[in-house]
Amino acid sequence: MGLLGKLRTLASAGDAPRDDEALDQITLRQRVADGIVALRQYDRHGHGTLPPAVEVVVTVGEASQQVARRFVDDPGFDAEVGAQVQNALAPLSGPLPHRTYRVERGERSGVAVRECSDAVLAWLHVEGDPARACPWRAERTELYLGRGRWHGAEGGRPNDLQLAERFVSRAAAVLRRAGTAFTVEPSPGQAAFLAILRADGRRVRPGLDTVEAGARLAPGERIELSDGAGQAVVLRLDREAPAKEGA
């Protein structure tokens, strides 16, 4: 039975767990992983390299679209895809590509994977001020933020998101990306006055509340930069661009 037939069978069977559900997911996962691996090139050491971002388009019949979307929307599905790609290309030079998924209706089932080197993976913006925003493009693995144009000494590395608040350090923090994971690492002078605001309400100070200098930042979570006496500016990492006022 082909992928389309398996998905249709599953769609008509409801949500009860079945042995063939695992097989359907395995089939789809394998096709996605194979499509990503097919984009590999090799560095001068002979290690496999992949583009910074890919788009996965899953084509299925109308009756199977909901089931296919449930598969690709499951974080565990994408984690397994990443593990399969990693194993297939070991040793892999550089991070796994950022992956986005789209399910479309089609006459024939299939999986297409294409490189998206110009894709915007996320947006970093000042909460409540959508004009102060910075796109995180796929070719970038780091973003710099701080007060003013320069991240530290004038004429050095520019800040990608420039803040005006006087209590913010010129070199406030560096945001890093490895595959689909984002982290925040504050500068030594900013560490006591930078906190990540988790979705569950927790406040985490990278380097102070964590063993490592950086801490993860998930889309939808926020970064608070403060003076320790009540003044603060809050940044937010989102998958979509911030809405313009009046839009």
Burial annotation 214-240 (CB, 10 A radius, 16+ → b, else e): bbebeeebbbbbbeeeeeebbbbbbee
C-alpha R_g of the chain: 21
**Quick check: 100 and 55 in contact, CB under 8 A?**
yes
For the chain, the structural domain boundaries read: 3-115, 120-238
Overall pTM > 0.75? no
Strand partners, 182: 177
62: DSSP letter: G
178 vs 52: CA distance, rounded Å: 10
CATH level 3 topology of 120-238? Tumour Suppressor Smad4 (2.60.200)
Q: What is the DSSP letter of 158?
A: B
Look over the chain and give the mean of its residue pLDDT values, rounded to a whole number.
86
Q: Which residues neighbour 118 within 8 Å (Cβ) at sequence distance 6 or greater?
A: 137, 138, 139
Within 8 A by CB and 6+ apart from 186, the residues are 172, 173, 194, 206, 207, 213
3-state DSSP assignment of residue 181: strand
Tens of pLDDT, residue by residue over 110-143, are 899 998 867 888 899 999 998 999 999 888 889 9
Taking only the tens place, the pLDDT of each residue in 190-241 is: 999 999 999 999 999 999 999 999 999 999 999 999 999 999 999 999 988 8
The per-residue pLDDT for range 82-99, each reduced to its tens digit, is 999 999 988 887 778 888
List residues bridging with 197 in a β-sheet. Answer: 203, 222
Q: Give the pLDDT score at 100.
A: 87
Contact 171, 187 (CB under 8 A): yes
* CA separation for the pair 118, 105 (Å, rounded): 25
Strands of the sheet containing 181-186, edge to edge, are 161-163, 142-147, 173-178, 181-186, 215-216
Q: Can you name the CATH fold of 3-115?
A: hypothetical protein PF0899 fold (3.30.2320)
239 phi/psi in degrees, rounded to 5: -75, -30
d(CA 209, CA 128): 27
Residue whose C-alpha is closest to residue 28's, from 53, 58, 55 = 58
Measured at the CA of 25, the angle between CA 34 and CA 104, to 5 degrees, comes to: 75
* 143-155: pLDDT as tens digits: 999 999 999 888 8
